[in-house]
Chain A
Amino acid sequence: MRFATLVFLACCLLFDSPAIAQDRQTVIRDTSARVVKIFGAGGIQKLHSYCSGFLVSKQGHVVTVWSHVLDTDSLSIVLDDGRRFEAKVLGAEPQLDLAVLKVDPGIDGLELNLPCFDLKQAIDVTVGTRVMGFSNMFKVAVGDEPVSVLHGVIAARTRLSARRGAFNFPYQGPVYVVDAITNNPGAGGGVLITRSGRLIGMIGKEVRNKHSNTWINYAVPVTEIREPIEQIISGNYETQRRETDEETPGNYKPVDLGLVMVPDVIFRTPAFVDSIIADSLADKAGLMPEDLVLFVNDKLVQSVKMLATEVGALEKGDTVTMIVRRGEELVTIQMKVDIEQRN
């Protein structure tokens, strides 16, 4: 029985492998034709003057990452067959790290009929999915050479911004983390596709995790940016108002709730309660000296400073949930903030 299964599996496995291999070549060839090399500003102080992009319309709309490279009047785009076009920035959304360019056909009204991706075909994938990355990393491809291809798997889908302070990163949405070293100089704006050629994501910039001091390889899901791209192309996109960064409103201080914390002496003083003011909110809620505050409303609090930030953001009438460590136990405490704000 087991052997039969094996034989069946084996047949499935390799039967059409020549055909698949054929397909893979087609996928790579088709994708290469849709990924372009972009040359623009830079070239000084270690700023590279090139990046990658991908075509999303026959008329030559190119999607890429927003970067200093685009900050020039003379942008040029080179296709895998060596054709070179001048291009202009049609629209950009720095919040999404996104820009859309439009190539200049040279002659008015000329039908370019360029190879392109259909944004509607873009899909979402799960961890472990095999992917290929296409980009002109390190400007290896010149002239009529196609861009470089890497392979790997989706390592994770996550929000980089969730690891607060670790990344200097405007984009708030989810990203795919890839286990191939995709994010190199010039790779931004390249594409991530499935083995069968479905568009998944746009390769991002080079980003370093400030906490672990490691570089991260990620791509923005095309399904997340499809709408703004279409709006920019159709000309009815309005740049989103930049939300202010998380600044501490400073509505409350821990002491307002009755929490006297240990002095903040080192870089990361753990949020230990030094003493509790009698009859305060904290006292009534059952907080005790030497409790270590770990979570405020599900946010991990790693220091006295972070506690102050979280408490500062509370508003009158909020119910705050704190999880504290008391000895070897975790204790959950809730209190309703019904006292006046400072400002």
Chain B
Amino acid sequence: MYHIAHQNIVCQLASLFAVVTLLTSILCADQPDLGALEEKAFKEAAAFADPSVVRIQTVGGLDRVGRVLTGTGPTTGVVVSADGYIISSSFNFASRPTSILVQLSDGRQLPAKIVASDKAKMLTLIKIDEKDMTPATAARKDDIKVGQWALAMGRTYDNEIPSVSVGIVSALNRVYGKALQTDAKVSPVNYGGPLVDIRGHAMGVLVPLSTRGSGETAGVEWYDSGIGFAIPMEEVYASLDRLKRGVDLKSGRIGIDLKGRGLLAGEAEINRVRENSPAKAAGLEKGDVIIEADGKKIGRQAELRHALGNKYAGDSLTLVVRRGKEELTKKLILVADLEAYESAFLGILPRRIDLQEAADLQGVGVRYVFTKSAAAEAGLQTRDRIIKFQNEQIEDESQLLDLVGRTRPGEEISIEFLRGDEKKTAKIKLTSIPNQVPADLRTWPIPVPVPSSEDNEDATDGGAEESEKIATGRLQREMAAHEHSYWAYIPEGYNPNHLYGLMVWLHPGGDTMEATIYREWKSICNQRGIIILAPKAENLNGWNLNEADFINAAVGEIQEEYSIDPTRIFLHTFSDGGRMAFHLAFRDRDVYRGVAAVTSPVRVRPEENEADHRLQFHFVVGDQDANLEAVNQSVEGLRQMKYPANLSTVQGGEYRYPPAEQVQEIGRWADALDRI
């Protein structure tokens, strides 16, 4: 049982201020100021919440999870029932400790055991054998307002007095409706502790969260940044009984892909219903538009995601969909896991053309047809232009990729294409994306730019200046803001009217391999239109997780300066550089489209394959290399998750950067990243 406070402090304060403004002008007295009263209130709020805040110590376990070192120091928890249940952030148990101890505010130590975790909100419930504890008083979620005081409390520094950081509530319903946001300082010092209001009532439980990742340590990089999250206490209490039963809670899923991309997309029209999913069972169909979820109107896709943010597997969901002129009500029981998403494959590479000409052309030109693909079967040839897929007009390659990506392998579709001026149609069965690199993929030369002659009177001078502005060849740069440097290679004769691929080289620990990479890749880059960006780790011995932001900033800098094809940005790495490469690939999915890893297995937990963010993999390993087995397992695992993953084994190869033949192959793979 828990208590919810009904008094509304916001109203109280408001009336206070009204009175104050009235009287200020008339009276005069020597009294404590508002700031001092607030300070007193902070201390009282902390004192009120104090008995419900406990210190947790862990013993044993891993020293790091992914790239994050997990603390061996104490962490914090919040008492949620008198009989010894304590909720905390899953971050605090990410190291899988062998033993957990809870220290009460009176100093006693008690052993605790993990009861269950809420995987959707990254909370873990533990239990100690103790009676008469003081559960936290929950603030009503509906009463929480942006701008009100918020105190983040922890019990890690000192067991006698909990630590306090003061801020305000910055936002409500963050991270798909899951969390409150605060600008109080939130870090490993108080993860698992409460975020309390000015009365000391718990508004939420502090957790690291990220809109991009979902692991136990996702969001830690935002510590002390003014962006902190707390899971609303009312919801913690609401799901407490389920957790007490010892069953982990997971996010509930429907099993649909929506039409269009991104959260700014308009209404929630279903583009694909996943096999064996709750949506399929409920009879949802492609083309249905979701207009209501559990009684809430859904106008945009983002609203649907928010409605689902607080749903667990096993929960029921009532959807109202519009099908043609009908409105249908469907009831679904959500599940935790769906059959993996797999993209279909048409079997072409789109033609790369001058950006200025591109706007006038209709459809997608064919640069290359993959053998044994659906496109080959349909008789497509180089230079044809695809203008219709099913019944949709094709504007450009990103639209075609999106449509193919939302089709399942094995589905039959119709296309319409132009050969010269002749219109042709074909009905074909799409296949899976093949796990091999075409051996015969020819280069696609980019013309050297012609200096424009219209700019000014002195055309030759102007042209020369123009080309001087864009640096080409090998560059060395410092990024002052990040205290890091990188080197880059821009193909000679760089032409800003054409799009280039971008290879982000992540060196292994101990060696930037700058000379090797430059030597092996220079001619491939010139021939296939690829720019190399090679960030350097601050500590040459290896990459630190925190450096991901620097790498992304360097990619951003290159993207701003040069014409980069967003579908051909990939990470290339050797050996232990792979940790960072896979971390980035699965975290920043809106940036990276592929990973080419040499003797480097996947050492992070892969995220699921998604229609919105295509990721392709290419692995190279020597058959005498100690990493062979691990790399094989990675390829197998990724293929099971329905990611395209090539494996190239070097005969007699040991632990080293591969010979030219395999490097050429990586080049072809990279050149085909825009395959559809």
Contact = CB atoms under 8 A, between A and B. Distances in A.
Chain A partners chain B: yes
Interface of A: 6-7, 9-17, 20, 46, 126-130, 152-158, 163, 166, 177, 179, 181, 195, 209-215, 267-271, 292, 294-295, 300-303, 323, 325, 328-330
Given A20-B35, A214-B224, A330-B111, A11 B163 contact: no
B165 A179 contact: yes
Contacts of A195: 35-36, 39
A47 to B, nearest CB: 12
Given A16-B33, A156-B158, A302-B59, A212 B23 contact: no
Nearest to B113: A328
A304 to B, nearest CB: 10
A154 B39 CA distance: 11
Contacts of B158: 156-158
8 contacts: A20-B33, A127-B43, A127-B46, A127-B161, A155-B165, A157-B161, A302-B59, A325-B111
B38 to A, nearest CB: 8
Interface stretch (B68-76, B325-333, B456-464, B619-627): B68-76
B187 interface: yes
Interface string B29-45: 11111111111001100
A7 B19 CA distance: 7
Interface string B1-23: 00000000000100111011101
A329 B111 contact: yes
Q: Which residue among B37, B164, B224 has the maximum number of chain A CB atoms within 10 Å of its CB? A: B164
10 residue pairs, one from A and one from B, having the closest CB atoms = A270-B60, A179-B165, A156-B163, A158-B157, A12-B31, A156-B157, A20-B33, A212-B71, A212-B188, A128-B43
B655 interface: no
Given A128-B43, A155-B185, A269-B60, A13 B99 contact: no
Contacts of B189: 155, 212, 214
A45 to B, nearest CB: 11
Contacts of A295: 109
B223 interface: yes
A16 B16 contact: no
A147 to B, nearest CB: 22
Given A127-B164, A156-B163, A211-B73, A10 B23 contact: yes
Contacts of A11: 20, 23, 27, 29, 31
Nearest to B44: A128
A12 B32 contact: yes
A253 to B, nearest CB: 21
B73 A179 contact: no
Nearest to B61: A268
B483 interface: yes
A328 B112 CA distance: 8
A6 B15 contact: yes
B39 A128 contact: yes
Contacts of B98: 270, 292
A128 B99 contact: no
Contacts of B60: 268-270, 302-303
A10 B33 CA distance: 10
B166 interface: yes
A46 B483 contact: yes
B33 A17 contact: yes
Contacts of A215: 224
B24 A177 contact: no
B57 A179 contact: no
A211 B167 CA distance: 26
A215 B23 CA distance: 46
Contact of B163 (A127, A129, A271): A127
Nearest to A180: B185
A299 B360 CA distance: 75
B163 A16 contact: no
B19 A6 contact: yes
Interface residues of B, number: 63
Contacts of B39: 128-130, 153, 195
A96 to B, nearest CB: 20
A113 B298 CA distance: 71
A125 B60 CA distance: 36
B184 interface: yes
A127 B30 CA distance: 26
Contacts of B157: 155-158, 177
A232 B645 CA distance: 69
Interface of B: 12, 15-17, 19-21, 23-24, 27-39, 42-43, 46, 57, 59-63, 68-73, 98-99, 101, 109-111, 113, 129, 157-158, 161-167, 184-185, 187-189, 223-224, 483, 546
A61 to B, nearest CB: 32
A295 B29 CA distance: 57
Given A212-B73, A323-B109, A328-B129, A130 B34 contact: no
A271 to B, nearest CB: 8
Contacts of B68: 213
Nearest to A194: B39
Given A13-B33, A153-B164, 19 more contacts: A6-B16, A10-B16, A126-B161, A129-B43, A130-B38, A155-B163, A155-B189, A179-B167, A179-B185, A210-B69, A211-B72, A212-B70, A214-B188, A267-B62, A294-B99, A325-B111, A328-B113, A329-B111, A330-B109
A99 B479 CA distance: 35
Given A211-B71, A302-B60, A15 B29 contact: yes
Contact of A325 (B28, B99, B164): B99
Given A6-B19, A128-B164, A179-B166, A14 B35 contact: no
Contacts of A267: 62-63
A11 B161 CA distance: 32
Q: Which residue among B35, B69, B113, B223 has the maximum number of chain A CB atoms within 10 Å of its CB? A: B35
Q: Which residue among B33, B37, B71 has the maximum number of chain A CB atoms within 10 Å of its CB? A: B33
A270 B163 contact: no
A294 B100 CA distance: 10
A70 B407 CA distance: 68
A330 B163 contact: no
Contacts of B28: 15-16
Contacts of A16: 28-31, 33
B228 to A, nearest CB: 11
Contacts of A127: 43, 46, 161-164
A17 B16 contact: no
A287 to B, nearest CB: 16
Contacts of B69: 210-213
A158 B154 CA distance: 13
A163 B73 contact: yes
B289 to A, nearest CB: 46
Contacts of A301: 59
B118 to A, nearest CB: 23
Contacts of B167: 179
Contacts of B129: 328
A69 to B, nearest CB: 19
B164 A155 contact: yes
Nearest to B35: A195
B532 to A, nearest CB: 27
Given A20-B35, A270-B99, A330 B27 contact: no
Contacts of B34: 13-14, 17, 20
Q: Which residue among B28, B72, B162 has the maximum number of chain A CB atoms within 10 Å of its CB? A: B72
A14 B24 contact: yes
Nearest to A323: B109
A157 B68 CA distance: 27
B110 A179 contact: no
Contacts of A156: 157-158, 161, 163-164
A36 B650 CA distance: 64
A14 B224 CA distance: 32
A328 B185 CA distance: 35
Contacts of A323: 109
Contacts of A154: 164
A15 B224 contact: no
B43 A152 contact: no
A199 to B, nearest CB: 17
